[in-house]
């Protein structure tokens, strides 16, 4: 961050050394950032160790990186190849940590740190726009105070959330005309998920409109090719002719071509979702903590998040329109940038007073959002059941059940215990593989249940069909119960390795 240089005060071996001092605004932002990172790092670690994470998606991401670290590729939590699930080559950046024994705690804290660091490029962008230091620090702090960003930490590791900060850095490099670093941050951003390429493509379009057509057109073209390569060529090739996300858009056409056709033949089906109440609530929670109107003064910048926003609001699944989940990550990044640009615009038009006051108006809405919806210790939802309790009476039984399973055993576990056991080649979410449920595409490929050596079950989360299935399995001679306490049950296939 910035330092303020003062006149030369002394010389050492003929080299003039300026005295520098840290801007108070920078110090304040740094302290807030440190407190934010520590707070949410503690909370996400507590969530995992409190057995409050689940197979989708903590188990998926943890097993994915573990598999790559061990030269494997089939993701048994999801029933797909690792890169058939999403285009996330940035997983390889995390592999060395897994060679050293990293796991969910590393992934979750890594995301908290990277997301928190997004305050820095926002601060630097505001200074590039000649906003005062305190105004710039406030605009960086707004990202940390935003309740949606806090929910992203609660939801635990998701690649597109990690992509927010590289995307912010790429935009900063545009303003600085630092094209090599711009390319670096763009490549890093798109390597986290295929959808990020759409945001970078729009960023390339903005670069072209700002005057650098060569860089802008190249960015736009490469990003679109990357997105289409994965969604049209590689995913079908990896997944036997299908794309794993098509089920989210079945009623509006399935794939990109089908969605366009639906918009032409039945635009009402698309528009009713874009302007529906769920979409409005989604947009409200994203925009209000940024001052609601401030981003509207930079409408072109908002286009960066528009492709993902439209994909979110037209899908068949309501959870893509829930502000508590990661699907709004790219719109959030666009809104953050647009807020800085919007404040800079009104400051240029209306003078220094606005340049100082407007960011604090935005700060007020961010504080309101953080208190009313946020998950920090001062937020209204902090004790609403999002974070695990500190007095779970079954926690020791859960730990004991998980500890019985050998590291190399093939396991089927309930969704809440899968992330504790995902460092292995085969880990299924019960009732998989006996019944295909949230596995593969359309329940395929199928896996033979005889592969499973251990069952780790929390009977309190089983639905009636799963209770019946478990009873049938245990009535046979294949499995023997080796642990049963507090509704936790562990069974071992006869002849399987006994474990510790």
Of 478, 142, 109, 91, whose CA–CA distance to 338 is shortest? 142
CB of 146 within 8 A of CB of 289?
A: yes
CB of 452 within 8 A of CB of 429?
A: no
Provide the token pair at 315: 């899908």
Residue range 409-426: average pLDDT? 98
| 454, containing H or E segment | strand 454-458
Residue range 25-33: average pLDDT? 97
Give the SS3 label for residue 3. strand
Q: How confident is the model at residue 260 (pLDDT cuts 50, 70, 90)?
A: confident
Least confident of 8-17, 353-362, 426-435: 8-17
Residue range 142-171: average pLDDT? 98
The Cα–Cα gap between 367 and 374 comes to 9
Amino acid 79: pLDDT: 97
Q: How confident is the model at residue 13 (pLDDT cuts 50, 70, 90)?
A: very low
Q: Does residue 8 have a pLDDT over 50? A: no
Amino acid 18: pLDDT: 47
The Cα–Cα gap between 162 and 167 comes to 9
Amino acid 355: pLDDT: 84
Least confident of 16-20, 45-49, 303-307: 16-20
Q: Give the tens place of pLDDT for each residue, 33-50.
A: 999 999 999 999 999 999
Q: CA angle 128-131-136, nearest 5°?
A: 90
Q: Does residue 15 have a pLDDT over 50? A: no
Q: Give the tens place of pLDDT for each residue, 452-490.
A: 999 999 999 999 999 999 999 999 999 999 999 999 999
| 457, containing H or E segment | strand 454-458
| 16, containing H or E segment | strand 15-22
CB of 51 within 8 A of CB of 388?
A: yes
Amino acid 326: pLDDT: 98
Residue range 64-68: average pLDDT? 98
Burial class (CB in 10 A: 0-12, 13-18, 19+), 193: buried
Amino acid 499: pLDDT: 65
Amino acid 21: pLDDT: 64
Provide the token pair at 341: 């640009």
**Residue given tokens 């807020």 in the structure block:** 339
Q: How confident is the model at residue 497 (pLDDT cuts 50, 70, 90)?
A: low
Least confident of 3-12, 220-229, 281-290: 3-12
CB of 305 within 8 A of CB of 332?
A: yes
Amino acid 496: pLDDT: 78
Q: Does residue 111 have a pLDDT over 90? A: yes
Residue range 365-394: average pLDDT? 95
Q: Does residue 193 have a pLDDT over 50? A: yes
Q: How confident is the model at residue 213 (pLDDT cuts 50, 70, 90)?
A: very high
Amino acid 16: pLDDT: 47
The Cα–Cα gap between 233 and 27 comes to 49
Q: Give the tens place of pLDDT for each residue, 233-256.
A: 999 999 999 999 888 999 998 877
CB of 29 within 8 A of CB of 390?
A: no
Q: How confident is the model at residue 14 (pLDDT cuts 50, 70, 90)?
A: very low
Amino acid 314: pLDDT: 96
Identify each DSSP E strand in 23-177 by its residue range: 74-75, 80-81
Amino acid 352: pLDDT: 81
Residues contacting 468, CB < 8 A, separation 6+: none
Q: Give the tens place of pLDDT for each residue, 436-460.
A: 999 999 889 999 999 999 999 999 9
Q: Does residue 3 have a pLDDT over 80? A: no
Q: How far is CA 83 from CA 20, 164, 293, 421, in A?
A: 48, 21, 39, 21
Q: How far is CA 365 from CA 17, 178, 289, in A?
A: 43, 33, 5
Amino acid 9: pLDDT: 42
Q: Does residue 493 have a pLDDT over 90? A: yes
Q: Does residue 367 have a pLDDT over 70? A: yes
- What are the backbone dihedrals phi and psi of residue 43, each rounded to the nearest 5 degrees, phi first? -65, -40
Q: In sequence order, which ranges of 9-86 are alpha helices (DSSP H)?
A: 24-49, 60-69, 82-85
Residue range 176-192: average pLDDT? 98
Burial class (CB in 10 A: 0-12, 13-18, 19+), 435: middle
């Amino acid at each position: 961050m910035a330092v303020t240089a003062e006149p030369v005060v002394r010389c050492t071996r003929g080299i003039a050394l300026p005295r520098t001092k840290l801007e108070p605004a920078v110090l304040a932002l740094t302290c807030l950032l440190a407190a934010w990172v520590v707070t949410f790092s503690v909370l996400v670690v507590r969530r995992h160790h409190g057995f409050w994470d689940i197979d989708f998606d903590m188990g998926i991401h943890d097993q994915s990186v573990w598999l790559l670290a061990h030269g494997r590729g089939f993701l048994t939590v999801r029933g797909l190849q690792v890169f058939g699930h999403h285009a996330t080559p940035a997983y390889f950046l995390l592999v060395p940590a897994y060679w050293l024994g990293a796991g969910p705690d590393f992934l979750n804290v890594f995301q908290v740190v990277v997301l928190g660091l997004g305050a820095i490029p926002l601060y630097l962008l505001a200074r590039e726009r000649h906003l005062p230091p305190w105004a710039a620090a406030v605009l960086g702090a707004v990202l940390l105070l935003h309740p949606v960003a806090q929910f992203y930490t609660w939801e635990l590791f998701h690649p597109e959330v990690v992509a927010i900060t590289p995307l912010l850095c790429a935009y900063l490099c545009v303003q600085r005309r630092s094209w090599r670093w711009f390319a670096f941050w763009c490549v890093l951003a798109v390597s986290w998920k295929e959808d990020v390429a759409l945001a970078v493509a729009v960023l390339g379009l903005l670069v072209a409109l700002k005057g650098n057509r060569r860089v802008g057109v190249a960015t736009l073209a490469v990003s679109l090719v990357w997105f289409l390569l994965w969604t049209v060529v590689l995913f079908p090739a990896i997944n036997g002719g299908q794309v794993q996300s098509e089920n989210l858009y079945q009623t509006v056409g399935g794939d990109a071509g089908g969605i366009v056709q639906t918009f032409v033949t039945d635009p009402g089906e698309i528009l009713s979702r874009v302007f529906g109440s769920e979409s409005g609530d989604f947009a409200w929670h994203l925009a209000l903590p940024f001052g609601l109107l401030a981003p509207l003064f930079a409408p072109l910048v908002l286009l960066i998040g528009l492709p993902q926003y439209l994909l979110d609001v037209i899908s068949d699944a309501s959870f893509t329109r829930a502000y508590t989940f990661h699907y709004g990550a790219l719109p959030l990044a666009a809104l953050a940038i647009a807020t800085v640009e919007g404040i800079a615009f009104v400051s240029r038009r209306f003078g220094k007073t606005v340049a100082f006051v407007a960011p604090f108006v935005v700060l007020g809405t961010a504080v309101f959002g953080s208190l009313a919806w946020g998950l920090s210790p001062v937020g209204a939802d902090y004790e609403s059941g999002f974070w695990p309790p500190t007095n779970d009476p079954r926690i020791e039984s859960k730990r004991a059940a998980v500890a019985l399973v050998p590291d190399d055993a093939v396991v089927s576990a309930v969704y809440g215990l899968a992330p504790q056991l995902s460092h292995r080649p085969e880990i299924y979410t019960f009732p998989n593989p006996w019944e295909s449920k949230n596995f593969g595409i359309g329940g395929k490929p199928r896996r033979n249940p005889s592969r499973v050596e251990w069952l780790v079950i929390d009977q309190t989360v089983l639905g009636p069909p799963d209770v019946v299935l478990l009873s049938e399995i245990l009535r046979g001679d294949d499995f023997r119960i080796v642990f049963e306490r507090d509704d936790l049950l562990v069974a071992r296939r006869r002849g399987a390795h006994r474990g510790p």
